[in-house]
């Protein structure tokens, strides 16, 4: 039962990844807007850029991991197919 629940939290497709990245971006821009109000001027702008930059880095990592998992699955499929 726990395994079935844990499968809900696994990103399987690029579409799911883009949905998660979009949600992260919405949160980051909301947090960045709060930083602009709380820290007016250059400091707030730097914090805003940091929050959005973190989404770019995280999104790239998510997309790379999905691609890598597909490649590993393909290699495992080839390896199991040739050993028979």
- Enumerate the domain spans of the chain: 14-82
pLDDT band at residue 24 using 50, 70 and 90 as cut-offs: very high
For 35, other C-beta atoms within 10 Å of its C-beta total 19
Tokens of 8: 């809900």
Report, as an integer, the average pLDDT of 19-30.
95
- Please tell me the pTM assigned to this model: 0.79
- Give pLDDT tens digits for 27-43: 999 999 999 999 999 99
Q: Count CB-CB contacts under 10 A for residue 40.
A: 10
């Amino acid at each position: 039962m726990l395994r079935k629940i844990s499968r809900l939290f696994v990103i399987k497709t690029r579409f799911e990844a883009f949905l998660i990245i979009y949600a992260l971006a919405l949160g980051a821009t909301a947090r960045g807007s709060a930083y602009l109000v709380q820290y007016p001027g250059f400091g707030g702008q730097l914090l805003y850029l940091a929050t959005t930059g973190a989404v770019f880095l995280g999104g790239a990592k998510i997309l790379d991991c999905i691609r890598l998992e597909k490649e590993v699955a393909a290699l495992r499929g080839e390896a199991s197919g040739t050993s028979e």
